[in-house]
């Protein structure tokens, strides 16, 4: 089968890779309908993480082609959405809703889903089937649920977005935009998106943002305070992963408020005295997307939400290298690769 391999930073190729096969009785093999490039794939692409001939990709939707003898809830032909961590969904950590930390988890990025097929470990605990074969126009939204929507949703839940709350969102990439959408769905009263890009501002507004702030860092936090009677937002989503973004998020939050952070941390160190003085709640990490997938699949199937709009460039898998370039150069927010 064909699949994406990152030879080195900046060097992405689509080449022949071995077909996956059932290795464990709980595995499923899926034929991908679509996959995509993640903001986190740009870290190695830009040399900020080591990479050497790595299969890429951890987001996926597709059709079940084969199942192991112990797979119970799925059948060949099902259209499925899965998370970027495989999980048994039965261990104590999964039952608490933290499937990204399942005691039997596997990182799907090691398998590499930017490919024609993929082996999904712990298929019952990882995949969620849609009620039927989706209309083609729903594919991007289901694909978004696999990571960026699930991650933005987790961030909004971690930030305790909800009725009566003012939510600020640091980061106007696909995850941040999905965080805006999630905050709206969770009933937030006011949603402030930090953004300097007209196209992303427009999508943020479409997803539910009530205010746009263009300042960053301390000035950005000061603007949030101005907009909230000097107190700060109740809930802040951090969807970048840099020191500036984390400090901006903390400084934008009122005492007793909540920061939900999902940007993959790079060279971030949170000063203890700042955190002690801030009096906020801080929660985040890799999103337990599987917790939210049943609800997200239902909302998308019912056409209640349209997170697929975060994909502003669709390319065939064979043009993955152009997709990476487009995201790296910020010509695209989020690139879908079709098969």
Residues that bind a second copy (CB under 8 A): 92-93, 96-98, 100-101, 103, 229-231, 241, 243, 246, 254-256, 261, 264-273, 275-286
Closest approach, Cβ 49 to a second copy, in A, equals 11
Q: Is the Cβ of residue 100 or residue 192 nearer to a second copy in the bound state?
A: 100
Q: Are 40 and 49 in contact (CB under 8 A)?
A: no
Closest approach, Cβ 107 to a second copy, in A, equals 12
Q: Is the Cβ of residue 117 or residue 291 nearer to a second copy in the bound state?
A: 291
- How many alpha carbons lie under 13 Å from residue 287 in its C-beta half-sphere? 35
Q: Is the Cβ of residue 87 or residue 141 nearer to a second copy in the bound state?
A: 87
Closest approach, Cβ 217 to a second copy, in A, equals 16
Closest approach, Cβ 231 to a second copy, in A, equals 6
- 94 Cβ contact list (under 8 Å, min separation 6): 87, 88, 102, 125, 290
Going across the sheet that includes 54-55, the strands are 11-16, 2-8, 54-55
Alpha-carbon dihedral 3, 25, 293, 310, rounded to 10 degrees: 0
Closest approach, Cβ 138 to a second copy, in A, equals 31
Closest approach, Cβ 258 to a second copy, in A, equals 9
DSSP codes of every residue in 145-185: HTTHHHHHHHHHHHTT--BT-EEEEE--SHHHHHHHHHHHH
Q: Is the Cβ of residue 130 or residue 166 nearer to a second copy in the bound state?
A: 166
Q: Is the Cβ of residue 62 or residue 286 nearer to a second copy in the bound state?
A: 286
Q: Is the Cβ of residue 31 or residue 104 nearer to a second copy in the bound state?
A: 104
Q: Are 20 and 29 in contact (CB under 8 A)?
A: yes
Q: Are 332 and 326 in contact (CB under 8 A)?
A: yes
């Amino acid at each position: 089968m064909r699949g994406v391999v990152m030879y080195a930073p900046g060097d992405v190729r689509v080449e022949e890779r071995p077909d996956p096969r059932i290795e464990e009785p709980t595995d499923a093999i899926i034929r991908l309908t679509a996959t995509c490039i993640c903001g986190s794939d740009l870290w190695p692409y830009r040399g900020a993480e080591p990479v050497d001939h790595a299969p890429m990709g951890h987001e996926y939707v597709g059709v079940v082609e084969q199942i192991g003898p112990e797979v119970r809830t799925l059948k060949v032909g099902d259209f499925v959405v899965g998370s970027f961590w495989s999980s048994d969904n039965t261990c104590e950590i999964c039952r608490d809703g933290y499937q990204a930390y399942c005691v039997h988890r596997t990182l799907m990025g090691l398998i590499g889903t930017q490919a024609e097929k993929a082996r999904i470990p712990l298929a019952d605990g990882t995949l969620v089937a849609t009620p039927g074969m989706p209309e083609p126009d729903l594919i991007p939204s289901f694909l978004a649920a696999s990571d960026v929507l699930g991650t933005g949703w987790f961030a909004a839940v971690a930030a305790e977005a909800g009725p009566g709350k003012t939510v600020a969102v640091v980061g106007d990439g696909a995850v941040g935009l999905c965080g805006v959408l999630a905050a709206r769905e969770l009933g937030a009263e006011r949603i402030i998106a930090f953004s300097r890009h007209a196209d992303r501002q427009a999508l943020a507004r479409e997803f539910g943002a009530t205010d746009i702030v263009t300042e960053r860092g301390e000035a950005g936090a000061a603007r949030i305070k101005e907009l909230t009677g000097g107190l700060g937002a109740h809930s802040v989503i951090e969807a970048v992963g840099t020191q500036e973004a984390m400090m901006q998020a903390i400084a934008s939050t009122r005492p007793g408020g909540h920061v939900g952070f999902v940007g993959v941390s790079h060279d971030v160190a949170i000063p203890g005295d700042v955190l002690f003085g801030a009096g906020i709640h801080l929660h985040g990490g890799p999103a337990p997307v599987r917790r939210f997938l049943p609800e997200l699949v239902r909302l998308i199937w019912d056409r209640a939400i349209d997170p697929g709009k975060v994909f502003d460039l669709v390319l065939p898998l064979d043009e993955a290298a152009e997709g990476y370039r487009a995201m790296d150069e910020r010509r695209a927010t989020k690139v879908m690769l079709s098969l």
